[in-house]
């Protein structure tokens, strides 16, 4: 049914005449008539006003907007995820700024971004040497002769991916019944790595190697082409829940590995900021990206037409630039290709359209996913981890780690963090003593941090600025108590004022999905350097992890027993 007929029926159902509806939204009577007969189409703001006046819900409004070829209004539940969204180009740029190897991944373990350090560890150029569609999927990379000889704990690392695919009901015994990407990937494996299939089958038969809802941390043993054995910690953290993109940081796990990286820094292939050929996704052309996505999955235009309901000639016209699609049509095509959020939204961004919440975002919101019935909400069911269970994991980390809750109270401190801080914050007398504001403004912390303004403005979320500044009339009583405690402890408010000044100087520094920065620490007998990463403990529990990864050989040597 056309938009005009639906508007007519909705107006009649609400009991309004055309004249009454025109008066409610501030347009003329003939305008309402022209909309209902289809002679004219309303602007987006008028369509929103119509839905509001007629008491329509958000799904109905978005259906109308789709009929009109207009962008939808966001679901109110999605807005917090959308506000924290990071576009793929932003993730790639930030990834390239890191000194350690870092990969940006989607849900299917496809690498969609990387940095120079990742190229150095790989001893190849991920952009040019793995340019074939699908070649940067982690299983395909790991099966290649180049990577298989380097990853010494191959079974353990690949077992993590397999455990996740098993939870999604993907089967190596019947790959054709799985998702498009999985079917295509397994076709390649059977054709090019038949000698490794038996090994994969054995791993598939093993019990799950990971627990859902627990943070992904995996030790990596790596051998270079010259025989050097390196040790790293691979840490997976959310980067953009809206798009469903993750960071996979490969943090050097000992002094020898940092020394190797320092020697080889800049020696491998480099990614230039404007080097489009080195990027995993061509971000400027939605047509090219749509075609390449279809071809990478081995889907013909005819098959895509059958799966999407969009005519084959229309798909050809879209890909060749003869026609421009509506957002609804692009979503139908992306859905039929089961594209992951980063690639789907790269297409929408390039087309100048509003992005769409990924399958992952929908699952976090408790929805049935839109395009991929293979996903099951049960596989990411909510886990409530108390401090004792979190301790079980972070106490194993050889790097300092603090876990904080939603009100910025330190809930867990691991042994390495206690050694670094020289005090067990977790055992403080009360909540206010364990709060991050209390910690970063304390004299011991200020004296040991070489770059205190930068660290303080990042460790303590900028969202607390109104409480420290005293400008929020509706502030929570708990933070009043924190501020009062700091003032009483210090006998003045200078340290709080310094924190406020640091926030003002770093206006972009706030917790979103992830935050990375350096920490210069003065120990009694050494100057230490850490790469700090703040990210959610997992997507479900109200905890944030503050990881302090040793950033050079001297820091690892100091921290090691």
The pLDDT value recorded for residue 276 is 47
pLDDT value at 373 more than 50: no
The pLDDT value recorded for residue 281 is 56
d(CA 213, CA 535): 14
Confidence of residue 378 (pLDDT cuts 50, 70, 90): very low
DSSP secondary structure string, 291-332?
HHHHHHTT--HHHHHHHH---HHHHHHHHHTSS---HHHHHH
Residue 192: both structure tokens together:
């090019």
Regarding predicted confidence, which is higher, 370 or 358?
Answer: 358
Question: For 158-167, 228-237, 259-268, 389-398, which range has the lowest pLDDT when averaged over its residues?
Answer: 259-268
Question: For 263-272, 409-418, 503-512, which range has the lowest pLDDT when averaged over its residues?
Answer: 263-272
In this prediction, residues 44-57 reach a mean pLDDT of 90
249-297 residue pLDDT tens: 999 999 999 999 988 876 655 555 555 444 555 556 899 999 999 999 9
User: Secondary structure of 411-476 in the HEC alphabet?
Assistant: EEECHHHHHHHCCCHHHCCCHHHHEHHHHHCCHHHHHHECCHHHHHHHHCCHHHHHHHHCCCCCCC
Phi, psi of 503, rounded to the nearest 5 degrees: -60, -45
In this prediction, residues 457-471 reach a mean pLDDT of 78
Sorted by where each starts, the structural domains of the chain and their CATH numbers stand as 3-73 (1.10.260.40), 83-278 (3.30.450.180), 286-380 (1.10.260.40), 387-559 (3.30.450.180)
Confidence of residue 517 (pLDDT cuts 50, 70, 90): very high
Of the candidates 550, 559, 560, 515, which has an alpha carbon nearest to the alpha carbon of residue 533?
A: 515
The pLDDT value recorded for residue 219 is 93
| Residue that is written with structure tokens 């059977």 in the block | 190
Confidence of residue 385 (pLDDT cuts 50, 70, 90): low
d(CA 293, CA 72): 24
The pLDDT value recorded for residue 311 is 96
Confidence of residue 372 (pLDDT cuts 50, 70, 90): very low
Highest mean pLDDT among 60-64, 79-83, 165-169: 60-64
* Percentage of residues in the chain having pLDDT higher than 90: 56
Question: For 32-41, 149-158, 531-540, which range has the lowest pLDDT when averaged over its residues?
Answer: 531-540
The pLDDT value recorded for residue 470 is 65
In this prediction, residues 143-153 reach a mean pLDDT of 95
Burial 258-286 (b: 16+ CB within 10 A, else e): bbbbeeeeeebbebeeeeeebbbbebeeb
Phi, psi of 230, rounded to the nearest 5 degrees: -110, 150
The pLDDT value recorded for residue 208 is 57
CA 277 to chain CA centroid, Å, is 24
Of the candidates 383, 419, 428, which has an alpha carbon nearest to the alpha carbon of residue 401?
A: 419
Give the helix, strand, coil percentages of the chain, each rounded to 5. 50, 15, 35
The pLDDT value recorded for residue 475 is 54
Q: How far is CA 135 from CA 27, 102, 127, 355, in A?
A: 56, 17, 10, 26
| Residue that is written with structure tokens 């480099």 in the block | 270
532 strand-pairing partners: 517, 548
In this prediction, residues 530-545 reach a mean pLDDT of 86
Confidence of residue 32 (pLDDT cuts 50, 70, 90): very high
In this prediction, residues 361-376 reach a mean pLDDT of 63
pLDDT value at 518 more than 90: yes
Residue 528: both structure tokens together:
């230490």
pLDDT value at 145 more than 90: yes
pLDDT value at 557 more than 70: yes
CA 526 to chain CA centroid, Å, is 35
* DSSP letter (8 states) at residue 377: G
d(CA 410, CA 403): 6
The pLDDT value recorded for residue 471 is 56
Mean pLDDT of the chain: 86
Confidence of residue 556 (pLDDT cuts 50, 70, 90): very high
């Amino acid at each position: 049914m056309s938009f005009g007929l639906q508007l007519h029926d909705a107006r009649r159902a609400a009991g309004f005449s055309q004249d009454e509806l025109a008066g409610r939204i501030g347009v003329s009577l003939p305008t309402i008539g022209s909309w209902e007969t289809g002679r004219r189409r309303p602007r987006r703001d008028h369509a929103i006003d119509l839905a509001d006046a007629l008491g329509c819900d958000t799904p109905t409004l978005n259906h109308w907007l789709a009929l009109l070829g207009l962008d939808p209004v966001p679901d109110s539940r999605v807005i917090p995820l959308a506000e924290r969204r990071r576009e793929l180009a932003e993730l790639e740029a930030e990834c390239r700024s890191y000194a350690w190897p870092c990969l940006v991944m989607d849900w299917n373990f496809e690498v969609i971004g990387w940095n120079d350090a990742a190229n150095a560890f790989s001893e190849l150029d991920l952009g040019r040497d793995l340019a074939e569609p699908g070649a940067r999927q982690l299983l395909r990379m790991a099966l290649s002769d180049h990577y298989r000889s380097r990853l010494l704990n191959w079974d353990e690392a690949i077992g993590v991916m397999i455990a996740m695919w098993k939870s999604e009901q993907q089967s190596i015994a019947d790959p054709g019944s799985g998702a498009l990407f999985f079917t295509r990937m397994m076709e390649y494996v059977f054709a090019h790595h038949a000698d490794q299939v038996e090994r994969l089958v054995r791993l598939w038969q093993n019990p799950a190697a990971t627990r859902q809802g627990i943070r992904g941390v995996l030790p990596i043993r790596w051998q270079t082409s010259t025989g050097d054995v390196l040790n790293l910690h691979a840490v997976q953290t959310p980067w953009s829940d809206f798009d469903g993109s993750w960071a996979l940081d490969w943090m050097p796990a000992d002094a020898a590995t940092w020394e190797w990286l320092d020697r080889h820094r800049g020696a491998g292939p480099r990614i230039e900021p404007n080097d489009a050929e080195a990027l995993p996704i061509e971000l400027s052309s939605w047509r090219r990206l749509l075609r390449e996505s279809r071809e990478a999955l081995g889907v013909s235009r005819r098959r895509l037409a059958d799966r999407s309901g969009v005519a084959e000639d229309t798909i050809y016209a879209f890909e060749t630039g003869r026609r421009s699609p509506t957002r609804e049509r692009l979503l139908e095509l992306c859905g039929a290709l089961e594209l992951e959020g980063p690639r789907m939204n790269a297409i929408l961004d390039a087309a100048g359209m509003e992005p769409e919440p990924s399958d992952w975002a929908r699952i976090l919101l408790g929805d049935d996913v839109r395009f991929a019935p293979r996903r099951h909400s049960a596989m990411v069911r909510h886990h409530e981890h108390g401090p004792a269970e979190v301790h079980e994991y972070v106490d194993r980390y050889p790097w300092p780690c603090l876990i904080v809750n939603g009100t910025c109270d330190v809930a867990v401190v691991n042994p390495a963090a206690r050694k670094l801080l020289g005090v067990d914050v977790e055992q403080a007398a009360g909540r206010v003593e364990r709060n991050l504001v209390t910690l970063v403004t304390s004299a011991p912390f200020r004296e040991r941090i070489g770059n205190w303004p930068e660290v303080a403005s990042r460790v303590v979320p900028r969202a607390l600025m109104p409480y420290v500044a005293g400008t929020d009339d509706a502030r929570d009583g708990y933070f009043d108590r924190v501020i009062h405690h700091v003032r009483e402890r210090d006998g003045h408010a200078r340290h709080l004022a310094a924190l406020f000044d640091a926030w003002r100087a770093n206006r972009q520094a706030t917790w979103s999905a992830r935050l990375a920065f350096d920490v210069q620490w003065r120990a009694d007998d050494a100057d230490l350097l850490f790469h700090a990463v703040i990210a959610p403990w997992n997507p479900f529990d109200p905890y944030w992890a503050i990881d302090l990864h040793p950033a050079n050989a001297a820091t690892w040597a100091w921290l090691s027993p």
